[in-house]
Every structure is written in C-alpha cells, then in structure tokens.
Structure 1
Amino acid sequence: MSFPYRTLMVQGTTSDAGKSTIVAALCRLLKQRGVKVAPFKPQNMALNSAVTIDGGEIGRAQALQAIAAGVPAHTDMNPVLLKPSSDIGAQVIIHGKVRGDMNARDYHQYKTVAMAAVLESHQRLLAQYEAVIVEGAGSPAEINLRDRDIANMGFAEAVDCPVILCADIDRGGVFAHIVGTLACLSESERKRIIGFVINRFRGDIKLLEPGLDWLEAQTGKPVLAVLPYLHGLYLDAEDAVQAVQAERGAFRIVVPSLPRMSNHTDFDALRAHPEVDLRFVRKGEAIPPADLIVLPGSKNTRADLAALKEGGWPQAIARHLRYGGKVIGICGGFQMLGAQVHDPHGVEGEAGSAAGLGLLDMETELTRDKRLAQVTGSCAFADAPVSGYEIHMGVSHGGALAQAAFHIEGRPEGAIGKDGQVLGTYLHGLFDHPEAGRALLHWAGLDSQHTVDSNALREASLDRLAQACAPLMDRLLLPD
C-alpha cells in the first residue's frame, strides 16, 4: 500500500483531545499495511518519559507510538522535550539530552534554536521512513504562543504538511471547539486542514449527523471520522494521572500524588491487576490504610519531599510500618527514603540540603549529569528477572546499598532496609515485567499467582485502537 502523505500532522482543539492515540492508531494501521512509518512530536511538555535506543530521553507517548509503528524509539521522534520543574520553569531536553533549565520567557527566546533541532530530526526521519505521522501539542488556537511556534501550525507551515484537526465530543461543545479553532487561524493555516476527527463519541450516530452536516457546510471541510469512546485501553499516558482507582481487590496500594510526580506509568500494571486496589492520594485527601505505600518518581525531589512532609506522609508511613506494612520508593521516591538529599549545584532549584524520611541508611547528592539507560537483571529478594529503565540526576551512597534490591548487569542496584519492610530503587517500569511484578507484590504481602503482562495488554489495546480508527485510514486513502 502507498500512503499519499509523506508527513501528516494531527492537531487538537484542546489538550487531551486524542492526538496521541490517533497518531498511535495511524502508526499501527500503516504498519499493518506494510508502510514503514515513524511517529514525531516536535515539542512535548510532559513528566512521563522513556529512554530511547540511542540513549536519550523522549516523551512517553512517542515511545508508545513507536511501539505502534513497530520501530525502536529514537530521540528524533521527539526532538524537544520540556519537563516542568516549577510553575514557570522547565528542564529543556534537545535531541534526548539536557540543555538546562529555563523559565517560560527564556525558552520562548530559545525557540529559534529548538526549531532548528526539530527540522533536523524531521528531515532525518523522512530519509529513513516512508511516512511520518506528527502529533501537535495543546491547541493551534493559543494566540499567545503563535509567535515562534514550533509545536503546531508553526511546524506545519515550515514543512508544508497537511493537518487533521481532532476534537473531543465527550467534553461537550465540540462544534464550538472546531469552529472557534478555525477562527483563530490564519488563512494559510486553515487551508492546510484537510478535515476533522470527532473523538470519544458514545450514543446514536443518527442524532449526531445533523451537527456533522452543519459543520461541513459551515467550514467547507469534511468530517473524516467519528471515533468511538473506547473503554479499558491499556496505553501509556502522556501526562494525565487518574486520581482514584475503583476498588476491585483486597490488596490496597496508595501513592502520594506529588506536585512534580514523574513517570506515573510505573503504576499502569498495578492498575490492571485484578487483585489490587491502587489509589493516588491528592493533597488534602485523607491517607487511607494500605498494604503497600509507593513513593513515585519526581522531577523535583526536594520540593516533592517538602510536599510529602506537609501532607503528613512521614507520620502515616511510620504508622504503616509499625503495623507491618511495606514501602517502595522509585527514583526520586528512593532518594526521599534516605537521611539527606543534597543539591550543592542547585540542580532542582536553590542549592542546599533537605532531611529525608530516614528509612534507609543512605544520602543522595543531586548531580548535573542525568543517567539514561535501559537495563535488565534479576531480583535480589526472589528468583525473578527484572527489566526497566533509569532516568535520574543524582548518586546515592550509604550502608543501605550493601543490601541490594536488584542485580543489574553485574552490579547491585537499589536497597532493602534491615527490617525488610522498605525497598528503594532507581528502576522505572518495575512492575511491567510479569515475573518481577508478581515477585514485588509477593514481597509486599500479596499471595497471588496472577501476573500482568504489560506488553501483551499494550499490543492488544493498540490493535483495538487501530481497528476503531480504520474508517479514518480509509478516508485518508481516498483520492482527492
């Protein structure tokens, strides 16, 4: 099959309109039809990231889209990644490597440099793939960001590619979203929109058809597809986190929803476990009793540690341990378990130190260099393999590390406390490996033979998503 577009971009009327999933679906459909395709997002702002085959860091959504396309994730697929470290600043990552921290105003001036990186990556992908499916960011109608835009129409205009505009009908106001977005665009930008996709529809399509007819008459552009609301998909989220998991099992796991929590995709496999009740506890909510408390990764360890203390978590964790509960700390959460977190270089803000929770005999010094690695190994507390990835800035040292949690490629990794109740590690994706996930839950107190195969669930969801989006592909393949 030949695909009529070398580069096709999917933009949305709002954030979370479905851009990521539509790009993933198109990548999977093209793969199924024998087209060598790559995903691409010029600029991504997200705290969920993945390590690539070339040793860099990209947004988690682009790594998922690469899986959909059946190709290795590469830094060219997301050349600019912004990881917020405060309300007005972010770590800027170009071609997978940290360039520094910038506030919003400084980054706006830096966009000319970022755009050069974006165009370089796009050209490299075009040289290797038959088609590139591009995901926009936020909305092209954000007038205040139009100057030097590299994420939406600024990119589309620079490479002269067609655009699909998608909107989420489940939010309400879908027709206003679409017509209002068009009104905010320039004439040349409106012309490059080839049609609309209405996403997350549930109900009787006959009741929607008068609105579709009006929209096409009003804009002169076709509705390419109306996509259904798909329940129960197992797909890596770009950034949004579900606050509360419906109670389904007897084994309760609670996670503090910290202000700069990163890589909450670590918990996707736990969400899918039929015997686990996973709950994210937000600021101000009561901390419920639990079998296991997991401290998540963080983009700003000291700030999130302060938020943890403000929320009363140290007292809740002490009570939890007193009654025999278990605690796991992942990456930044691991660093919080120690006695001190030192930031002598001001990596995450003002230089200084902060007292940790004192649950592991170790201290951490934050460093300017970031470790990025995909790793495999085995559990030290069970006969089970483990795989995952490391994304962290900091080195931990102390007596606790003598009792490792894992053996990774010939070296000890992480720590288990002397009492056997506290485990810390720098490995993300711990629960994704079925055997490692079962071993960790058994260590925490869940006596179950059930395993969750994250890869199988993800592949099945991508195929289901692709099937739902097949009508969109059919429309794209129609001659003009």
Structure 2
Amino acid sequence: MVLPYQTLMVQGTTSDAGKSTVVAALCRLLKREGVLVAPFKPQNMALNSAVTADGGEIGRAQALQAIAAGVAPSTDMNPVLLKPSSDTGAQVIIHGKVRTDMNARDYHQYKPIAMQAVLESHTRLCAQYECIVVEGAGSPAEINLRERDIANMGFAEAVDCPVVLVADIDRGGVFAHIVGTLACLSESERARTIGFVINRFRGDITLLEPGLDWLEAQTGKPVLAVLPYLHGLFLDAEDAVQAVQATQGAFRVIVPCLPRMSNHTDFDALRAHPDIDLRFVREGEAIPDADLIILPGSKHTRADLAWLRAQGWPERIARHLRYGGKVIGICGGFQMLGTSVIDPLGVEGSAGASHALGLLDMVTDMGTEKYLKLVHGHCAFDASEAPVSAYEIHMGTSRGAAFALPAFTIEGRAEGARSADGQILGTYLHGLFDTPAACDALLRWAGLNSTASVDSGALREASIDRIADAAQPLLHALRALGASNESLSHTGVMHRNDRVPSNDECDS
C-alpha cells in the first residue's frame, strides 16, 4: 500500500534531529512492499557529497536514501547543493553541476531561481515514482530564513504536501522544541504539519506518556511514533564529523580535522575496523603518535594548508616519516602533499599560490571545472592488484614527476602517485576504503597485519534495515492517519501498542 500522499515531507526542530534517517527508513519500508519510492531534498548544505552515474553531485544523505529505496541516485534527488568554502560563502551546485560561488546575501537573492530548479526536479520525480519522501534542511523555525525559503515550509507550501516534524529527545527539551517550532510557523504551515516523531528515545515509555498526552492536548496533533536510540549504526553522515572516536584496535590512524574537510565518510570503514584506532585530531589538540596519517579532502586546500601549518602538522608528519610511518593524501590532502597549490582565479578563495608540504614532486593548478566521475580499477601499489571502486570530486589538476609511480590504474590510465621510498601515497579517489579488497591492500601497505576485513556495503544495508524495522510504527500511523482523514489519538496504531525497544535491545 502506497502512502496516502504522493509527496510527504520530513522536517526537524533542529539540525541533526534525525530527518535523514527517518527518510531513509521510510524509503526502505516502502521498497520492501514493492513501492517505487524516491528520496528528495530540495536544498542541502554539506561538504559530504556523492557522484551520480550521470556525473552529477548530490548530498551524501540522498545517495544513502536512494540505496534504502533501491534506486539509482540522481541529481533530481538533491537539485540544490551548497558546499561551504568559508563562513559566509559557498559553491552553488544546481542539478549536479557547479553554477557559481556566492556569499550568503547574494544566494538569498538567488533563491527564486534555485526554487525553479527544485520544482522542476520534483515534477520529474513525481512522473517517475509512486511516492516521494522529502527531507527538509535545518529547522522551519529559522525566522531569518523564512523569506524565499526553498528548503522547508517554502517548498511544502509550493507543492502542497503534508509535513511530519521530527524532534530529538536525546538532546533534551523535546516538548519545547516542538511547541516552539509550531509557534514560529504561519497558520497554513501549522495546518499542514500532520504530526510529530520523537526520535532517539531510551528508557521506559510509560514515563514519557504524560508528556505525550500534554503535547497532543497543547497542539491538537498526534505523536505518530516514538523511535528508539539505536547504537552502532553504520550510516553516511551528512556533514558533521562524529564526536565518538573508534578506539578498539591497536593500529592507530589519525586524520587532521580540517576546517573545510570534505567527504570524511571516506573513513567510515576504518572506524568500523576491529584492529584500528581511528582518531580525528581537532584544532588545538596534541597530535598523537600514529602508524598511519591520512590527509583528507578539502573544500579550500590553501586555507586548510595554512591551518595545518598553524597546528604544527608539517613537523609532526616529517617526524612520523623519519620513524618509518606511512602517509596517505586523498583529493585535497593529495594536493597538499605536492610542492605548491596555485589558484590564479581565486576558485577556492582569494587568488594566489601556496607552498605545499613538499613530500611529492608535483604542482596543483586550480581551475574552474569540477571533475566528477564514478571509477573502477585496481591498486598499483600491491602485488595482488586488488580491485577498487571509488569516485572523484575535485577542482584542479596536478602534474609532476611524482606521477611516474602511480597509486592506482583506473580504466586503463594511471592515477595518483607514490614516493620512491614507499612511505607516501596520494590519490584523487574518494571511497577508497569502501571496497574491502582495496581497503585490505591499503592497510597492508600501511603496515597492518590483520585477518579482519570490513564490508562497508553490508554494514550499511544492515543499518538501513535496523532503522526501517524501528520505524514500522511510523508507517502504520501515517497510513492510519491518511485513512481516517483526521487527527489520530496516540492509542491503537500508535507507539503505545508498538513497544519501544529497551536500552539493551537498542545497544545490540
């Protein structure tokens, strides 16, 4: 049975309330029933992105949701992507392609044009799919952003779709978040809000019930579901680096937490590896000793190079290499390994050139064209020639003698570079560690002797199934609400008959 509405929107009272996972869960539940469903996010601001088969770029969360729905990711699923390059400016990507760079004020004026792209994509998806599950961005209660809004209620009003509001109880203040958000909405926006989801609950549901009664009495709207806090999920983060560090293994891998780090999802497989202690080193923190240092991708390579210097990383990397450690540079981190990064047009900020770390004999020239591609090949640094599937997202090209010793062979061409002493490897490929054979080969190269292996795809699928199983009561409630065409009580199909897992179950 399809939902009673072709388009349903999931909004949150705050960022990271759980919108992405709720959308992914609904997509998986509908897919299980044979419903042709697609995710959609009108506007996304994130530095974690994915490449579609047609060479476009979308937010990482929408690619994950497409996997949950069992469909190929497309640029229509995230027609507007903003990739911040500073605190006040961002690269504007429309339908998967870079349109321009804008500061926040100019983009606010540009929103009516962006909205046309959003509505075009939504129309195309409606013609292809039975159901569209939409993710909002941030919160609809951001008063300063309500004018010309395309990400939350502005979109919902434009296409006349119902809205479910998600709030994170683990943060505290969940009832104030919901009531306060409704108070900030217009009358028509409140009317299209059909109910609430309380997310990340742990504890005794009976202790929560008085609050649910109060909330429904105050708002006249139902609590559609209370979803449990699920530990140990392996899901692509939309943007922020997870605060929890993985410390289960003895082989230490450290990554500088660059101010403009992009696609830190590259390291998810390492986080899950039982023999690896993965740590992101933030500003001001002491740089620990490590077996492997990885320089991650960057949306602003020259600025992040300056940050590395200010934090003392060049000296620590030099010491690390003297003691036989290994270094990998990915995308922007690869560019940093060279002798210089030249940006004559100011593609990533002010025009100019920066001395790089000088660890590989190569120069990077920034250009206006972004290279986007899904790629397949094999490792050139390992005798097993392990296969690799990855993707490229980068501005600029690199050249120099370092490329005489490539890191990979991709579709018949040499890719990346290695140092002659075998201690340094650089590549433009993202997602290196997601292919188990390539991950194992890279870790062997870095010095890890292990029989363990991590299958990112299998872990991701299992996590999607877990969040879908937990969200089954929400799907039941949505259908009951649509069938009755009136506000639901939180009895019957609601959470009180759909038992919330205990903390022990959530920890599994």
Q: CA deviation at 1:449?
A: 2.0
Give the letter for the 1:337 counterpart. L
SS at match of 1:393: strand
Query: Are the equivalent residues in 2 in contact too, given 1:51–1:374 (CA < 8 A)?
Result: yes
Q: CA deviation at 1:241?
A: 0.5
CA distance in 1, matches of 2:127, 2:156: 18
CA distance in 2, matches of 1:424, 1:112: 41
The answer as to 2:10 corresponding to 1:18 is no
CA distance in 2, matches of 1:16, 1:170: 11
Query: Are the equivalent residues in 2 in contact too, given 1:377–1:408 (CA < 8 A)?
Result: yes
Q: Which residue of 1 aligns with 2:40?
A: 40
CA distance in 2, matches of 1:406, 1:387: 11
Relative to 1, partners in 2 of residues 1:385 and 1:246: Cα closer, same or farther, differing over 3 Å? closer
Q: Which residue of 1 aligns with 2:200?
A: 200
Q: Which residue of 1 aligns with 2:456?
A: 454
2:424 pairs with one of 409, 414, 422: 422
The answer as to 2:296 corresponding to 1:275 is no
Relative to 1, partners in 2 of residues 1:31 and 1:244: Cα closer, same or farther, differing over 3 Å? closer
The answer as to 2:35 corresponding to 1:27 is no
Q: Which residue of 2 aligns with 1:412?
A: 414
Could you report, residue by residue, the CA deviation over 1:4-36 in whole angstroms, capped at 9, with x for unpaired residues? Answer: 110000000000000000000000000001100
Relative to 1, partners in 2 of residues 1:392 and 1:328: Cα closer, same or farther, differing over 3 Å? same
Runs (4+) of structure 1 exceeding 3 A deviation are none
Query: Are the equivalent residues in 2 in contact too, given 1:244–1:278 (CA < 8 A)?
Result: no
Q: Which residue of 2 aligns with 1:475?
A: 477
Give the letter for the 2:399 counterpart. H
CA distance in 2, matches of 1:102, 1:273: 39
What RMSD over aligned residues (CA atoms) do the two structures have, in Å? Answer: 0.6
1:436 pairs with one of 434, 438, 455: 438
Query: Are the equivalent residues in 1 in contact too, given 2:367–2:397 (CA < 8 A)?
Result: yes
Q: CA deviation at 1:305?
A: 0.5
Matches for 1:38-187 after TM superposition, within 5 Å: 38-187=38-187
Q: CA deviation at 1:54?
A: 1.8
Over the matched positions of the two proteins, sequence identity in percent amounts to 79
Q: Which residue of 1 aligns with 2:361?
A: 361
Could you report, residue by residue, the CA deviation over 1:428-480 in whole angstroms, capped at 9, with x for unpaired residues? Answer: 00000000000000000001121100000000000011000000001111112
SS at match of 1:53: coil
Give the letter for the 1:366 counterpart. M
Q: CA deviation at 1:84?
A: 0.2
CA distance in 2, matches of 1:34, 1:232: 28
SS at match of 2:47: coil
CA distance in 2, matches of 1:167, 1:31: 25
Q: CA deviation at 1:244?
A: 4.9
SS at match of 2:429: coil
Relative to 1, partners in 2 of residues 1:28 and 1:14: Cα closer, same or farther, differing over 3 Å? same
CA distance in 2, matches of 1:2, 1:219: 27
Could you report, residue by residue, the CA deviation over 1:227-273 in whole angstroms, capped at 9, with x for unpaired residues? Answer: 00000000000001024514211100000000000000000000000
> Is there any run of 5+ residues in structure 1 with no aligned partner, and where?
none
Q: Which residue of 1 aligns with 2:331?
A: 331
Q: CA deviation at 1:160?
A: 0.1
Query: Are the equivalent residues in 2 in contact too, given 1:112–1:148 (CA < 8 A)?
Result: yes
1:394 pairs with one of 393, 396, 399: 396
Query: Are the equivalent residues in 2 in contact too, given 1:244–1:281 (CA < 8 A)?
Result: no
Q: Which residue of 2 aligns with 1:305?
A: 305
Query: Are the equivalent residues in 2 in contact too, given 1:243–1:282 (CA < 8 A)?
Result: no
Aligned length: 480
Give the letter for the 1:392 counterpart. H
Between 1:135-144 and 1:341-350, the stretch displaced more is 341-350
CA distance in 2, matches of 1:279, 1:21: 25
**When the two structures are superposed, what TM-score results if normalisation uses the length of structure 2?**
0.94
Query: Are the equivalent residues in 1 in contact too, given 2:2–2:30 (CA < 8 A)?
Result: no
Give the letter for the 1:81 counterpart. L
Give the letter for the 2:388 counterpart. V
Q: Which residue of 2 aligns with 1:255?
A: 255
SS at match of 2:369: coil
Query: Are the equivalent residues in 2 in contact too, given 1:242–1:280 (CA < 8 A)?
Result: no
Could you report, residue by residue, the CA deviation over 1:198-248 in whole angstroms, capped at 9, with x for unpaired residues? Answer: 000000000000000000010000000000000000000000102451421
Q: Which residue of 1 aligns with 2:190?
A: 190
Give the letter for the 1:268 counterpart. D
SS at match of 1:87: coil
Query: Are the equivalent residues in 1 in contact too, given 2:2–2:131 (CA < 8 A)?
Result: no
CA distance in 2, matches of 1:463, 1:370: 35
CA distance in 1, matches of 2:82, 2:381: 37
Give the letter for the 1:385 counterpart. P
Query: Are the equivalent residues in 2 in contact too, given 1:244–1:280 (CA < 8 A)?
Result: no
Query: Are the equivalent residues in 2 in contact too, given 1:68–1:462 (CA < 8 A)?
Result: yes
Could you report, residue by residue, the CA deviation over 1:407-430 in whole angstroms, capped at 9, with x for unpaired residues? Answer: 000000000101100000000000
Q: Which residue of 1 aligns with 2:291?
A: 291
Q: Which residue of 1 aligns with 2:232?
A: 232
CA distance in 1, matches of 2:381, 2:295: 20
Give the letter for the 1:414 counterpart. G
The answer as to 2:349 corresponding to 1:349 is yes
Q: Higher relative contact order by CA 8 Å / sep ≥ 6: 1 or 2? A: 2
SS at match of 1:367: strand
